[in-house]
Amino acid sequence: MAISKDNFIVVYITGVSDSLDFAEYYAEKHNMDTINRNPSSGVNSGTIGGINWEVNGQLIGIESSSTSEILTDEDSFDTNILTPLKTAINTASELSDRTIWGVVLGYKVPGGYNYIDEYLGEEHVISSTSRISRIHHDFDLKIKNRLFNRQVFKRFDQDDADFALICSRIDAPTLLQAKEFVDNAEELRRQLFVDGTFYIDPYSNQIGSDSDAYKKSLEDFRDFIIPKLNLDSFSTQFLDPYIDVTIPFAQDDSFIWSWNSSRSDNDFFQFTSFTRAFFYNADENSGFTIRDEDSKTWPILSMRAGYPCCAAAMSDPTIEGFLNPTAFYNALHRLSTIGEAYIYSLPFIDWTMTFFGDPLINISFPKAIDEDTENLDSDQLWEEISKDTARIAAQFWQKEQDSDDLRKTIVDSQITDVEINLLRPAHTMFTMYSLQNRQSLMSTPVSSLFDYPIKENTDTVGVSVKSLEDYLNLKSYKISELLLEIKNEEVSEDNIFEEGWWEFEHEIQDDFFGFLNYHFILEVYDNEDMSGDTVLSSDSFTIGGWSYELSLKNYSNMPVGGVASSYVGRKVRYQSRKDDLISLNEYLTRGRTYYFRIRQYDAVEGTLFPWTTYNDIIWT
């Protein structure tokens, strides 16, 4: 079930008529329920901590004692907003059968609260959207977002909602302006696709490793992701590490992603003949207010210029807390709502970042997502099939060995009637898997496998693949000798797996149900019970032999710090090593089945997670 308006509630302040007016306006635009379906039964209002709450359809009213944009402290926020809202969600009969995945904080709902980190002596403004996103959890300052930058895409679901809700805020200096933001969102929803210019500014005057990393992520986004959206783009140019180059103005823009200066002027946004969609400037505190009409901060300027959505920090989020553009636009491109895209691009929760605007917008780009990116291409497919075919060949090969063992067992028994009565039928069984018979059994698929890349590349301009050897050279692939036994082909030794070579792959699991870096412990046994000594044991902390799947079937060396949980669903891989110089030989016996078990552990705390077991035949 994809997230929809039915999964959202809208929060307003009771006793503030404009706040209710706005909530009803938003609900009407989305055809949300504003009256209770069964008003005569159940409990749909109450009081907690002296604060009244009420539920009407998908609207939740809270009689907060303050409508200040920033409340004085956490206690005030909990008493006035969080606890009554949580109580309403958990106890109102109207909401009992509604799956709530998102919250819209409406006009005049406080946008955050002051928080002093007594341990570090730092002051922060915790945003309401961030805190209410984790309404079902205790406050955990700057907790890493488990949903951040997932490498295997999926739409928002209950599992995600159990960690964090999608939460946005629509507020403004006046009720009229708040409603305009909703109107702008409605206008955006009506567009077939959005195709104005994408303005990007990857450069700031900040220095240091975090700054360099964020600059790199913006440059990569500019170079690799924006082209996929098929939008015109404008990028600032790098001048000097100490100069903050800025976008001079925006014209015919639909998207802006910039960095540093938190304020600008009214004339930054010039005329656009395209619909404006999403604005983000990575800075320290431009989200401090959305209500101050005189402020020149980005959220106010951009939303006044027609942007229906933007994001900003209420106090310094730190550079590592800036939104990730690739995660954001990959999700939007896959037709996620903008609220989903935001939560996937947000590094920390219970923190300072706020999402302003309508979270229910979907945006279409001039170019649809290329679905092939998460499917094997024909070469990757060939490589995978060749390995599985080698596994079949290894099973047949081992059947011959097993049958030979049966014959030898009979002879070695030196029991006369056993030898006389059993050797002949055992020999018949053995001959069924002679090389000639194995060739007969497998020649059709193996021939087809070998011919496929030659036929596929026959008409490809500039590619000369006239033999299996050509193909293996072209792709840097290797093949099992057991397949070459079935169909003899001229293949150089460099393109044949060494006998006994093996690899092991494991899909990274979400063991922690939170964000962390994983390392891995692998053990290999020669018996199904996994008893006795291991044949091999390796910890990925040692790095050697280990890699992880950066993108589909594209592996990179294991980082010293482990693999981030955003790679859940991708794989880690261990490849056996052999080096005569240092007497290292991890190769195993051809045709023999081995039993593997792997467990993930927290790369920082060392917490161990459960074992997962596998078995595989050595097919090389």
Partner 1 sequence: MALTISDILELHLPFDITNETLNDFVFFYVEVQRLITLTQNRGTDILNLYDVIISTIDGSLLSNLKGLKTSITESYQIGKENARLNNEDYYLKTVSFVKELQLLVLVRYDSIDDFYEERGITVSQIFADISQDAGHPISSQYIEDIS
Strand partners, 71: 113
Sequence-distant (≥ 6) Cβ neighbours of residue 381 within 8 angstroms: none
* Separation of alpha carbons 65 and 47, rounded Å: 13
Choose between 335 and 429: whose C-beta lies nearer to partner 1: 429
Distances (CA, A) of 312 to 168, 300, 425: 12, 10, 79
Choose between 216 and 424: whose C-beta lies nearer to partner 1: 424
Choose between 423 and 550: whose C-beta lies nearer to partner 1: 423
Choose between 4 and 554: whose C-beta lies nearer to partner 1: 554
- Tell me the closest approach of the beta carbon of residue 365 to partner 1, in angstroms: 21
- Tell me the closest approach of the beta carbon of residue 372 to partner 1, in angstroms: 6
Q: Torsion angle of alpha carbons 354, 360, 365, 367, nearest 10°? A: 120
Q: How many CA atoms lie within 13 A of 52 on its CB side?
A: 7
- Tell me the closest approach of the beta carbon of residue 440 to partner 1, in angstroms: 8
Q: In which order are the strands placed within the sheet that holds 571-575?
A: 503-507, 571-575, 546-551, 554-557
How far does Cα 159 stand from its chain's mean position? 14
- Tell me the closest approach of the beta carbon of residue 398 to partner 1, in angstroms: 6
Of 289-328, binders to partner 1 (CB under 8 A) are none
Choose between 239 and 381: whose C-beta lies nearer to partner 1: 381
Choose between 213 and 418: whose C-beta lies nearer to partner 1: 418
Sequence-distant (≥ 6) Cβ neighbours of residue 277 within 8 angstroms: 188, 194, 196, 254, 255, 307, 308, 309, 361, 363
- Tell me the closest approach of the beta carbon of residue 532 to partner 1, in angstroms: 17
Of 371-410, binders to partner 1 (CB under 8 A) are 371-372, 375-376, 378, 381, 384-385, 388-389, 391-392, 395-396, 398-399, 402-403, 405-410
Choose between 415 and 463: whose C-beta lies nearer to partner 1: 415
Q: Which of 411, 435, 560, 584 binds partner 1 (CB under 8 A)?
A: 411
Residue 573 · residue 556 · CB < 8 Å = no
DSSP 528: T
- Tell me the closest approach of the beta carbon of residue 502 to partner 1, in angstroms: 16
Choose between 123 and 374: whose C-beta lies nearer to partner 1: 374
Residue 311 host element (H or E):
strand 309-313
Choose between 345 and 386: whose C-beta lies nearer to partner 1: 386
Spatial CA neighbour of 567 closest among 523, 506, 503: 506
- Tell me the closest approach of the beta carbon of residue 382 to partner 1, in angstroms: 9
Binning the chain into helix, strand and coil, the percentages to the nearest 5 are: 35, 25, 40
Spatial CA neighbour of 324 closest among 247, 259, 227: 259
- For the chain, what is the radius of gyration of the CA atoms? 31
Residue 396 · residue 438 · CB < 8 Å = yes
Of 589-618, binders to partner 1 (CB under 8 A) are 617
* Separation of alpha carbons 495 and 374, rounded Å: 28
Choose between 38 and 416: whose C-beta lies nearer to partner 1: 416
Of 433-452, binders to partner 1 (CB under 8 A) are 440-442, 444-445, 447-449, 452
Sequence-distant (≥ 6) Cβ neighbours of residue 544 within 8 angstroms: 538, 577
- Number of residues near partner 1 (by CB under 8 A): 56
Choose between 187 and 374: whose C-beta lies nearer to partner 1: 374
User: What tokens were used for 24?
Assistant: 């009803």
Choose between 440 and 556: whose C-beta lies nearer to partner 1: 440
- Tell me the closest approach of the beta carbon of residue 392 to partner 1, in angstroms: 5
Q: How many CA atoms lie within 13 A of 392 on its CB side?
A: 14
Under rule CB under 8 A, residue 620 binds partner 1: no
- Tell me the closest approach of the beta carbon of residue 377 to partner 1, in angstroms: 8
- Tell me the closest approach of the beta carbon of residue 389 to partner 1, in angstroms: 7
- Tell me the closest approach of the beta carbon of residue 38 to partner 1, in angstroms: 46
Choose between 159 and 388: whose C-beta lies nearer to partner 1: 388
User: What tokens were used for 341?
Assistant: 């895209």
* Separation of alpha carbons 527 and 615, rounded Å: 10
Spatial CA neighbour of 574 closest among 539, 531, 603, 604: 539
Q: Which of 432, 463, 604, 608 binds partner 1 (CB under 8 A)?
A: 432
The 412-431 site mask, x for binding partner 1 (CB under 8 A), equals: -xxxxxxxxxxxxxxxxx--
- Tell me the closest approach of the beta carbon of residue 41 to partner 1, in angstroms: 49
Burial bucket for residue 84 (CB in 10 Å: 0-12, 13-18, 19+):
buried
- Tell me the closest approach of the beta carbon of residue 456 to partner 1, in angstroms: 6
The 450-489 site mask, x for binding partner 1 (CB under 8 A), equals: --x--xx-x-------------------------------
Distances (CA, A) of 529 to 107, 314, 463, 522, 525: 63, 56, 50, 16, 8
Choose between 542 and 554: whose C-beta lies nearer to partner 1: 554
Spatial CA neighbour of 598 closest among 578, 620, 574, 575: 574
- Residues in touch with partner 1 (CB under 8 A): 371-372, 375-376, 378, 381, 384-385, 388-389, 391-392, 395-396, 398-399, 402-403, 405-411, 413-429, 432, 440-442, 444-445, 447-449, 452, 455-456, 458, 617
